[in-house]
Protein backbone atom coordinates (compact mmCIF):
# COMPACT_ATOMS: atom_id res chain seq x y z
CA UNK A 1 0.00 0.00 0.00
CA UNK A 2 2.76 2.46 1.00
CA UNK A 3 4.69 1.55 -2.13
CA UNK A 4 1.57 2.23 -4.21
CA UNK A 5 1.09 5.68 -2.59
CA UNK A 6 4.74 6.55 -3.12
CA UNK A 7 4.42 5.59 -6.78
CA UNK A 8 1.24 7.64 -7.15
CA UNK A 9 2.94 10.73 -5.74
CA UNK A 10 6.03 10.18 -7.89
CA UNK A 11 4.09 10.15 -11.17
CA UNK A 12 2.74 13.75 -10.90
CA UNK A 13 6.20 14.89 -9.75
CA UNK A 14 7.82 13.27 -12.77
CA UNK A 15 5.23 14.85 -15.05
CA UNK A 16 5.88 18.27 -13.50
CA UNK A 17 9.61 17.81 -13.96
CA UNK A 18 9.06 16.90 -17.61
CA UNK A 19 7.01 20.07 -18.12
CA UNK A 20 9.71 22.22 -16.51
CA UNK A 21 12.42 20.61 -18.63
CA UNK A 22 10.30 21.07 -21.74
CA UNK A 23 9.80 24.74 -20.91
CA UNK A 24 13.54 25.23 -20.39
CA UNK A 25 14.23 23.58 -23.73
CA UNK A 26 11.75 25.86 -25.47
CA UNK A 27 13.11 28.95 -23.71
CA UNK A 28 16.72 27.97 -24.25
CA UNK A 29 17.58 28.31 -20.54
CA UNK A 30 20.75 26.56 -19.50
CA UNK A 31 21.20 24.98 -22.92
CA UNK A 32 24.98 24.60 -23.07
CA UNK A 33 24.73 22.59 -26.29
CA UNK A 34 23.14 25.61 -27.95
CA UNK A 35 25.50 28.19 -26.43
CA UNK A 36 28.61 26.45 -27.77
CA UNK A 37 27.86 26.74 -31.52
CA UNK A 38 26.75 30.35 -31.10
CA UNK A 39 29.96 31.20 -29.28
CA UNK A 40 31.95 29.43 -32.01
CA UNK A 41 30.05 31.33 -34.71
CA UNK A 42 30.79 34.68 -33.07
CA UNK A 43 34.48 33.89 -32.60
CA UNK A 44 34.84 32.62 -36.17
CA UNK A 45 32.93 35.61 -37.57
CA UNK A 46 35.35 37.97 -35.82
CA UNK A 47 38.21 36.28 -37.71
CA UNK A 48 36.33 36.65 -41.03
CA UNK A 49 35.59 40.36 -40.44
CA UNK A 50 39.19 41.08 -39.45
CA UNK A 51 40.46 38.97 -42.32
CA UNK A 52 38.25 40.77 -44.82
CA UNK A 53 39.70 44.11 -43.77
CA UNK A 54 43.28 42.84 -43.99
CA UNK A 55 42.76 41.08 -47.34
CA UNK A 56 41.22 44.14 -48.96
CA UNK A 57 43.66 46.64 -47.47
CA UNK A 58 46.73 44.62 -48.43
CA UNK A 59 45.71 44.49 -52.08
CA UNK A 60 46.88 48.09 -52.50
CA UNK A 61 49.97 47.57 -50.36
CA UNK A 62 51.12 44.57 -52.40
CA UNK A 63 50.52 46.42 -55.69
CA UNK A 64 52.53 49.40 -54.43
CA UNK A 65 55.39 47.18 -53.24
CA UNK A 66 55.49 45.45 -56.60
CA UNK A 67 55.78 48.77 -58.42
CA UNK A 68 58.52 49.91 -56.04
CA UNK A 69 60.45 46.68 -56.68
CA UNK A 70 60.09 47.20 -60.41
CA UNK A 71 61.47 50.74 -60.18
CA UNK A 72 64.41 49.60 -58.03
CA UNK A 73 65.42 46.58 -60.07
CA UNK A 74 65.00 48.34 -63.39
CA UNK A 75 67.08 51.28 -62.19
CA UNK A 76 64.33 53.88 -62.50
CA UNK A 77 64.08 56.98 -60.31
CA UNK A 78 61.75 56.65 -57.32
CA UNK A 79 58.29 57.85 -58.36
CA UNK A 80 55.63 58.04 -55.62
CA UNK A 81 52.88 58.98 -58.07
CA UNK A 82 53.46 55.82 -60.11
CA UNK A 83 53.40 53.77 -56.92
CA UNK A 84 50.10 55.25 -55.66
CA UNK A 85 48.61 54.91 -59.15
CA UNK A 86 48.78 51.13 -58.69
CA UNK A 87 46.11 51.19 -55.97
CA UNK A 88 43.09 49.13 -56.98
CA UNK A 89 40.64 49.89 -54.16
CA UNK A 90 39.50 53.05 -52.44
CA UNK A 91 39.15 53.31 -48.67
CA UNK A 92 35.37 53.66 -49.13
CA UNK A 93 35.14 50.43 -51.15
CA UNK A 94 37.06 48.57 -48.46
CA UNK A 95 35.22 50.04 -45.49
CA UNK A 96 31.71 49.43 -46.80
CA UNK A 97 32.44 45.74 -47.43
CA UNK A 98 34.01 45.21 -44.03
CA UNK A 99 30.95 46.81 -42.43
CA UNK A 100 28.71 44.52 -44.47
CA UNK A 101 30.50 41.45 -43.10
CA UNK A 102 30.26 42.85 -39.58
CA UNK A 103 26.52 43.54 -39.81
CA UNK A 104 25.79 40.14 -41.35
CA UNK A 105 27.51 38.62 -38.33
CA UNK A 106 25.49 40.82 -35.97
CA UNK A 107 22.25 39.84 -37.70
CA UNK A 108 23.05 36.15 -37.25
CA UNK A 109 23.89 36.80 -33.57
CA UNK A 110 20.52 38.51 -33.15
CA UNK A 111 18.83 35.44 -34.67
CA UNK A 112 20.72 33.26 -32.20
CA UNK A 113 19.47 35.33 -29.28
CA UNK A 114 15.95 35.23 -30.67
CA UNK A 115 16.09 31.43 -30.78
CA UNK A 116 17.22 31.23 -27.15
CA UNK A 117 14.43 33.44 -25.77
CA UNK A 118 10.76 32.80 -25.17
CA UNK A 119 9.66 36.38 -25.96
CA UNK A 120 10.85 37.90 -29.29
CA UNK A 121 10.36 41.35 -27.79
CA UNK A 122 13.48 40.82 -25.70
CA UNK A 123 15.69 41.19 -28.79
CA UNK A 124 13.84 44.09 -30.41
CA UNK A 125 16.71 46.48 -29.70
CA UNK A 126 19.30 44.19 -31.27
CA UNK A 127 17.32 43.83 -34.48
CA UNK A 128 16.64 47.56 -34.62
CA UNK A 129 20.36 48.30 -34.30
CA UNK A 130 21.18 45.90 -37.14
CA UNK A 131 18.33 47.31 -39.27
CA UNK A 132 19.54 50.89 -38.76
CA UNK A 133 23.14 49.91 -39.51
CA UNK A 134 22.06 48.23 -42.76
CA UNK A 135 20.07 51.32 -43.75
CA UNK A 136 23.20 53.45 -43.38
CA UNK A 137 25.26 50.80 -45.16
CA UNK A 138 22.85 50.77 -48.11
CA UNK A 139 23.16 54.55 -48.49
CA UNK A 140 26.96 54.38 -48.43
CA UNK A 141 27.05 51.47 -50.89
CA UNK A 142 24.72 53.38 -53.20
CA UNK A 143 27.27 56.22 -53.41
CA UNK A 144 29.79 53.78 -54.91
CA UNK A 145 27.61 52.08 -57.51
CA UNK A 146 28.74 54.44 -60.25
CA UNK A 147 32.44 53.96 -59.49
CA UNK A 148 34.35 51.47 -61.58
CA UNK A 149 36.84 49.11 -59.99
CA UNK A 150 39.39 46.79 -61.62
CA UNK A 151 38.40 43.85 -59.39
CA UNK A 152 35.08 44.71 -57.68
CA UNK A 153 31.53 45.20 -58.95
CA UNK A 154 30.23 48.17 -56.96
CA UNK A 155 26.86 48.32 -58.70
CA UNK A 156 26.10 44.67 -57.98
CA UNK A 157 27.26 45.03 -54.39
CA UNK A 158 25.08 48.09 -53.86
CA UNK A 159 22.06 46.23 -55.21
CA UNK A 160 22.67 43.22 -52.95
CA UNK A 161 23.01 45.46 -49.87
CA UNK A 162 19.78 47.25 -50.79
CA UNK A 163 17.86 43.97 -51.11
CA UNK A 164 19.29 42.60 -47.83
CA UNK A 165 18.43 45.88 -46.09
CA UNK A 166 14.82 45.65 -47.23
CA UNK A 167 14.55 42.02 -46.08
CA UNK A 168 16.02 42.74 -42.66
CA UNK A 169 13.73 45.76 -42.39
CA UNK A 170 10.68 43.52 -42.77
CA UNK A 171 12.00 41.14 -40.09
CA UNK A 172 12.55 44.08 -37.74
CA UNK A 173 9.05 45.36 -38.48
CA UNK A 174 7.26 42.15 -37.45
CA UNK A 175 9.35 42.02 -34.27
CA UNK A 176 8.51 45.64 -33.46
CA UNK A 177 4.83 44.94 -34.06
CA UNK A 178 4.97 41.99 -31.62
CA UNK A 179 3.73 39.55 -34.24
CA UNK A 180 3.39 35.87 -33.37
CA UNK A 181 6.63 33.90 -33.31
CA UNK A 182 5.52 31.85 -36.30
CA UNK A 183 5.07 35.01 -38.37
CA UNK A 184 8.51 36.25 -37.32
CA UNK A 185 10.04 32.91 -38.27
CA UNK A 186 8.24 33.00 -41.62
CA UNK A 187 9.66 36.42 -42.42
CA UNK A 188 13.16 35.32 -41.41
CA UNK A 189 12.98 32.29 -43.69
CA UNK A 190 11.37 34.17 -46.56
CA UNK A 191 14.10 36.83 -46.68
CA UNK A 192 17.07 34.68 -45.83
CA UNK A 193 17.93 34.30 -49.51
CA UNK A 194 18.59 38.06 -49.55
CA UNK A 195 21.11 37.63 -46.72
CA UNK A 196 22.89 34.66 -48.27
CA UNK A 197 23.01 36.44 -51.64
CA UNK A 198 24.94 39.30 -50.03
CA UNK A 199 27.24 36.81 -48.27
CA UNK A 200 27.95 35.11 -51.59
CA UNK A 201 28.75 38.42 -53.29
CA UNK A 202 31.09 39.46 -50.49
CA UNK A 203 32.79 36.10 -50.87
CA UNK A 204 33.27 36.76 -54.59
CA UNK A 205 34.77 40.19 -53.86
CA UNK A 206 37.18 38.82 -51.27
CA UNK A 207 38.15 35.98 -53.58
CA UNK A 208 38.91 38.49 -56.34
CA UNK A 209 41.15 40.46 -53.97
CA UNK A 210 42.88 37.27 -52.84
CA UNK A 211 43.52 36.03 -56.38
CA UNK A 212 44.83 39.43 -57.45
CA UNK A 213 47.29 39.35 -54.58
CA UNK A 214 48.42 35.84 -55.52
CA UNK A 215 49.03 37.02 -59.07
CA UNK A 216 50.97 40.11 -58.00
CA UNK A 217 53.02 38.15 -55.47
CA UNK A 218 53.85 35.67 -58.22
CA UNK A 219 55.11 38.49 -60.44
CA UNK A 220 57.27 39.77 -57.58
CA UNK A 221 58.84 36.33 -57.31
CA UNK A 222 59.67 36.43 -61.02
CA UNK A 223 61.30 39.86 -60.66
CA UNK A 224 63.35 38.82 -57.64
CA UNK A 225 64.50 35.57 -59.26
CA UNK A 226 65.43 37.34 -62.51
CA UNK A 227 67.32 40.07 -60.62
CA UNK A 228 69.33 37.52 -58.63
CA UNK A 229 70.12 35.57 -61.81
CA UNK A 230 71.24 38.78 -63.53
CA UNK A 231 73.51 39.67 -60.62
CA UNK A 232 75.07 36.20 -60.54
CA UNK A 233 75.92 36.51 -64.26
CA UNK A 234 77.98 39.62 -63.66
CA UNK A 235 81.77 39.41 -63.30
CA UNK A 236 82.72 37.77 -59.99
CA UNK A 237 78.99 37.03 -59.54
CA UNK A 238 78.18 40.66 -58.95
CA UNK A 239 77.89 42.60 -55.71
CA UNK A 240 77.88 40.29 -52.63
CA UNK A 241 75.78 42.76 -50.62
CA UNK A 242 73.16 42.93 -53.37
CA UNK A 243 73.13 39.14 -53.70
CA UNK A 244 72.55 38.85 -49.96
CA UNK A 245 69.73 41.42 -50.11
CA UNK A 246 68.05 39.62 -53.01
CA UNK A 247 68.44 36.29 -51.24
CA UNK A 248 66.71 37.66 -48.12
CA UNK A 249 63.92 39.11 -50.23
CA UNK A 250 63.44 35.73 -51.91
CA UNK A 251 63.25 34.01 -48.51
CA UNK A 252 60.56 36.47 -47.41
CA UNK A 253 58.70 35.93 -50.69
CA UNK A 254 58.75 32.16 -50.26
CA UNK A 255 57.38 32.50 -46.71
CA UNK A 256 54.57 34.76 -47.94
CA UNK A 257 53.80 32.34 -50.74
CA UNK A 258 53.43 29.51 -48.23
CA UNK A 259 51.15 31.58 -45.95
CA UNK A 260 49.14 32.85 -48.91
CA UNK A 261 48.22 29.29 -49.87
CA UNK A 262 46.24 29.04 -46.59
CA UNK A 263 44.77 32.54 -46.79
CA UNK A 264 42.04 31.72 -49.32
CA UNK A 265 38.89 33.29 -47.77
CA UNK A 266 36.37 31.29 -49.79
CA UNK A 267 36.19 28.13 -47.59
CA UNK A 268 35.63 30.22 -44.45
CA UNK A 269 32.92 32.33 -46.07
CA UNK A 270 31.16 29.22 -47.37
CA UNK A 271 31.28 27.78 -43.83
CA UNK A 272 29.96 31.08 -42.43
CA UNK A 273 27.02 30.94 -44.81
CA UNK A 274 26.34 27.30 -43.93
CA UNK A 275 26.32 28.12 -40.20
CA UNK A 276 23.92 30.97 -40.74
CA UNK A 277 21.57 28.76 -42.75
CA UNK A 278 21.73 26.05 -40.07
CA UNK A 279 20.76 28.62 -37.45
CA UNK A 280 17.83 29.87 -39.53
CA UNK A 281 16.65 26.28 -39.94
CA UNK A 282 16.94 25.76 -36.18
CA UNK A 283 15.01 28.97 -35.43
CA UNK A 284 12.18 27.88 -37.72
CA UNK A 285 12.07 24.25 -36.56
CA UNK A 286 10.80 24.85 -33.04
CA UNK A 287 14.26 23.77 -31.81
CA UNK A 288 14.14 20.32 -33.34
CA UNK A 289 17.05 18.16 -32.04
CA UNK A 290 17.99 17.21 -35.62
CA UNK A 291 18.34 20.90 -36.53
CA UNK A 292 20.36 21.51 -33.37
CA UNK A 293 22.69 18.69 -34.42
CA UNK A 294 23.09 20.29 -37.87
CA UNK A 295 23.80 23.65 -36.24
CA UNK A 296 26.44 22.12 -33.96
CA UNK A 297 28.18 20.51 -36.95
CA UNK A 298 28.03 23.66 -39.11
CA UNK A 299 29.36 25.92 -36.34
CA UNK A 300 32.17 23.49 -35.56
CA UNK A 301 33.11 23.35 -39.25
CA UNK A 302 33.08 27.16 -39.47
CA UNK A 303 35.23 27.46 -36.35
CA UNK A 304 37.69 24.89 -37.70
CA UNK A 305 37.83 26.49 -41.15
CA UNK A 306 38.89 29.90 -39.86
CA UNK A 307 41.81 28.60 -37.77
CA UNK A 308 44.28 28.19 -40.68
CA UNK A 309 42.93 31.40 -42.23
CA UNK A 310 43.63 33.36 -39.06
CA UNK A 311 47.14 31.90 -38.75
CA UNK A 312 47.93 32.64 -42.41
CA UNK A 313 46.68 36.22 -42.15
CA UNK A 314 48.75 36.81 -39.02
CA UNK A 315 51.82 35.55 -40.86
CA UNK A 316 51.10 37.76 -43.89
CA UNK A 317 50.57 40.78 -41.65
CA UNK A 318 54.10 40.41 -40.33
CA UNK A 319 55.75 39.83 -43.69
CA UNK A 320 53.97 42.31 -45.97
- pLDDT (tens digit, 9 = 90+) per residue, 89-134? 999 999 999 999 999 999 999 999 888 876 777 899 999 999 999 9
By residue range, what is the domain housing residue 47?
31-319
Query: Looking at the domain assignment, is residue 19 inside a domain?
Result: no
Query: Looking at the domain assignment, is residue 14 inside a domain?
Result: no
Does pLDDT of 227 surpass 50?
yes
Q: What is the chain's alpha carbon radius of gyration, rounded to the nearest angstrom? A: 27
Query: Looking at the domain assignment, is residue 85 inside a domain?
Result: yes
Give the pLDDT band of residue 149 (cuts 50, 70, 90).
Answer: confident
Give the least confident one: 46-60, 79-93, 288-302.
288-302
Give the separation between CA 209 and CA 264, rounded to whole angstroms: 10
Q: For 260-287, what is the mean pLDDT? A: 92
Query: Looking at the domain assignment, is residue 221 inside a domain?
Result: yes
Give the pLDDT band of residue 205 (cuts 50, 70, 90).
Answer: very high
The better pLDDT of the pair 6, 60 is held by: 60
Give the pLDDT band of residue 17 (cuts 50, 70, 90).
Answer: very low
User: What integer pLDDT is reported at residue 33 of this predicted model?
Assistant: 66
Q: Exposed, middle or buried, 110 (CB in 10 Å: 0-12/13-18/19+)?
A: buried
Q: What total number of domains does the chain contain?
A: 1
Q: For 54-58, what is the mean pLDDT? A: 94
User: What integer pLDDT is reported at residue 31 of this predicted model?
Assistant: 56
Give the separation between CA 56 and CA 212, rounded to whole angstroms: 10
Measure the CA angle with vertex 166, ends 160 and 171; round to 5°: 125
Return the number of other C-beta atoms located less than 10 Å from residue 165's C-beta. 21
Query: Looking at the domain assignment, is residue 192 inside a domain?
Result: yes
Query: Looking at the domain assignment, is residue 20 inside a domain?
Result: no
Q: Which range has highest mean pLDDT (19-23, 31-35, 189-193)?
A: 189-193
Does pLDDT of 241 surpass 70?
yes
Query: Looking at the domain assignment, is residue 15 inside a domain?
Result: no
User: What integer pLDDT is reported at residue 97 of this predicted model?
Assistant: 97
Query: Looking at the domain assignment, is residue 230 inside a domain?
Result: yes
Amino acid sequence: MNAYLRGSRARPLAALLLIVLSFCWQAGCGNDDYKKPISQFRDASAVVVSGARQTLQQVNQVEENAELDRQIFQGEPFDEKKIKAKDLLTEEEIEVRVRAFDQLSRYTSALADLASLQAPGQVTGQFQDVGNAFTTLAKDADKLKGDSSPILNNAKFSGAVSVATAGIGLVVQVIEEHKARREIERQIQEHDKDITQLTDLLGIDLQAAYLRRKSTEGQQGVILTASLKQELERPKQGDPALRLLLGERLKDWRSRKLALASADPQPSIAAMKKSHQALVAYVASDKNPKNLSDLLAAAQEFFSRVQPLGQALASLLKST
